[in-house]
Amino acid sequence: MKKPIVIVEDEPDIVELMTIHLEKTGFAVKSFSGGAGFLRFIEKTEPALVVLDLMLPDIDGLEICKTLRRHESLASVPIIMVTAKGEEMDKVLGLELGADDYMAKPFSPRELVARVKALLRRNGPAAQAGKVVEIGGMLTLDLTKYEVMLRGRRIELTSTEFKILELLSSKKGWVFSREKILDHLWGDEKAVIDRTVDVHIRHLREKLGDAAYFVKNIRGVGYKLEE
């Protein structure tokens, strides 16, 4: 069975609109009006992607995001965080807690479908089948399995963090501007601010432990990976 796109949202009109458009595109869709039902669901079923509303009647969306990221096998499931108008403050916080993308209501269903496709493309089988990148003798990136190993131990990155590491390691020593990194992450669907790159990189560095040393900030320019 095809893995479903899961919508966690308590406004029925929005759920219906999103469902119609995603199903029309060919996705299987499952929805929950609260966090509790969703958390029970993911005990047994792995979603392809989660569209997560921030304000839910029972459990806070950020709490759900955190729970998913701590989960052993669901840590890399892409999450699009959805917030009501004027909740801009939570954008950075959402990304801090591991969301891959963020959309503010009201958004067009077409934009949602585009973002979903972009995220799934990244998480799907990489074009560079079987390619493994090695960094500094301690870190390996498997571009097919989307797996990062630090001294043989697997570390869980979000798809955004993985994508950044993939880009930086594609040309070691080369400095990538924030703009370039955003382009790589989102292409034409780019609608995020510069600061988000810094948040993702900080998060990535934390997870890389002592290998974080390889990811360097070039003040005023961007980031690079250097062994």
Applying CB under 5 A, which residues contact Ca ion?
10, 53, 55
Q: How far is the CB of 56 from Ca ion (least distance, A)?
A: 6
Give min distance, CB of 83 to Ca ion, in A: 9
CA distance readout (Å), 74 to 48, 77, 154: 10, 5, 14
Minimum CB separation of residue 64 from Ca ion in Å reads 12
> Longest Cα pair distance anywhere in the chain, in angstroms?
52
Q: Which is nearer to Ca ion, 94 or 222 (CB)?
A: 94
From the number of C-beta atoms within 10 Å of its C-beta (0-12, 13-18, 19+), residue 191 rates as middle
Which residue's CB atom is positioned nearest to Ca ion? 55
Mode of pairing for the β-strands spanning 5-8 and 49-53: parallel
Nearer to Ca ion, 11 or 198 (CB): 11
DSSP assignment, residue 204? H
Q: Distance between CA 50 and CA 134 in Å, rounded?
A: 31
Nearer of residues 35 and 222 to Ca ion, judged by Cβ: 35
Cβ nearer to Ca ion, comparing 10 with 63: 10
Q: What residue has token string 């479908």? A: 113
Shortest reach from residue 89's CB to Ca ion, in Å: 16
